Amino acid sequence: MGVAKACALTGAARHRGLRSVKAAAFKRDETAAGAESPASLRLMKRGLAAKALGGMKLSQVATPLGPLSLGVSDAGLHMAYFDTWWRESAEEDTGNGTADAFMREAKEQVGEYFGGHRNTFSIPLVPEGTLFQKKAWAALEQIPYGKTVCYEEQAKLMNEPGKARAVGAANGKNPICLFIPCHRVIAKGGKLCGYAYGMENKKFLLDFEMSKSTI
């Protein structure tokens, strides 16, 4: 075999190897997105429902994506879901306590966000989860308004390279959607996937933020 032919074959093999590495990385990102699903949301809500109904103040605020259910305590915001799963238990936020003030503030900030006048939230967030989950959610808060990252990039933000699937699973258990922006994580290559509230809603939020990113 001539030197030129051998070099060509070596180059082709190297190219195939690079493609295999890229394909594997893309597959990991797709797998991570699969961990962030409506099924994971249903399982999470079962565990949190008893806690919410056991003392947390509950209410809802109207949004273009439907009602956003909120759960607060004197410590801050614990839960936010695009869902009506606790409608029968929702309370009016007319009291004068700390939790009442947090509820009013949360609703006001949601209204400002969808009105195009707010790109960050300032209410105290109190998500419940494992140390890894909280680390993943903290990384989500670092993603700027109007920007996106893939699951592998989020893992790197956490100093947890190679844990894209675990990151996707943590995102799927995010108990405070919108305020903790898990919608800003997409698959490598720009594909939308892995949002518990549906791809149409994820696309709406990303398109909305992109159009208002000069706020």
Q: How many Å apart are CA 174 and CA 181, to the nearest integer?
A: 9
- Beta partners for 185? 149
Alpha-carbon dihedral sign for residues 176, 180, 183, 186:
negative
Of 54, 56, 93, nearest to 76 (Cα)? 56
Q: How many Å apart are CA 177 and CA 110, to the nearest integer?
A: 11
Look up 182 and say whether it is catalytic.
yes
Map tokens 């869902």 to a residue: 83
Active-site entry in 150, 177, 182, 193? 182
The answer for 83, left when phi > 0, alpha when psi is -120 to 50, beta otherwise, is: beta
Count of CB atoms within 10 A of residue 33's CB?
25
DSSP state letter for 89: G
* Cβ-contact 26, 187 below 8 angstroms: yes
DSSP of 25-42: HHHHHHHHHHTSSHHHHH
Q: Which residue numbers are catalytic?
A: 182
